Each structure stands twice: as C-alpha cells, then as structure tokens.
Amino acid sequence: MRIGVGVVAGENQVTFVLTDGAVHLLDDDTDELVDGDDVAKFRGSLRTLGIPFHVEATAVPTDPQWNADGHPVIPVTRERIAELVLQARRFIIF
C-alpha cells in the first residue's frame, strides 16, 4: 500500500485491487500485518485523494469491524479484476 501511495503522488492513474487475504488491509486492527501500524495512515491518504479500493466481492469479510473507517469500496468479480489488468499500461502485484 505504501508503494501505491507513492505512485499516486505522481501523475499516474492508480487502481487498488484487493483480493483474498489482502482485504484485511481494511480491517480496523491491522497491527499484526506487515507495516500494519502505518496502514491507517496510508488508507487516510488514499481516502483524501478520493481513491477507492476495488475489492473482490467474494472476499469481503462479514466482520462489522472490516472497513470501519468507511473507505470507498467497489466490489468486483474476478472477471472484472482481469479486465482491469488488461486495461492497465503497467501494474504492481504483491
């Protein structure tokens, strides 16, 4: 997420896509994730810039603490994720 925020700071259009376990970047408590203590700060920067997260619809947790900050989320199918990748000039995958 930190790298994506850096890319957004330039003049690049960026789409964040979260699949599988990556959806936990929107958990209320991210302390146990790598750079988890910084995740809220990065999410706040993206929210301020109006950048939503495209989240694999089948991976969205039912936990009410998920996305407690109300970050903009666009549920997407795996097929839509494939379309986003095909439309991109470049991409970074972790």
- Encode the chain (94 residues) as per-residue pLDDT tens digits: 666 676 666 677 888 899 998 898 898 877 777 766 788 788 888 888 888 999 999 999 999 889 988 899 999 999 999 999 999 887 777 6
Assess contact for 25 and 44: CB atoms under 8 A: no
Q: Distance (Å, rounded) from C-alpha 92 to C-alpha 73?
A: 19
The pLDDT score that the predictor gives to residue 1 is: 65
pTM of the model: 0.83
pLDDT at 92: 76
Q: Which pLDDT belongs to residue 89?
A: 81
Residue 79, Cβ neighbours under 10 Å: how many? 8
**Which residue matches tokens 């706040």?**
44
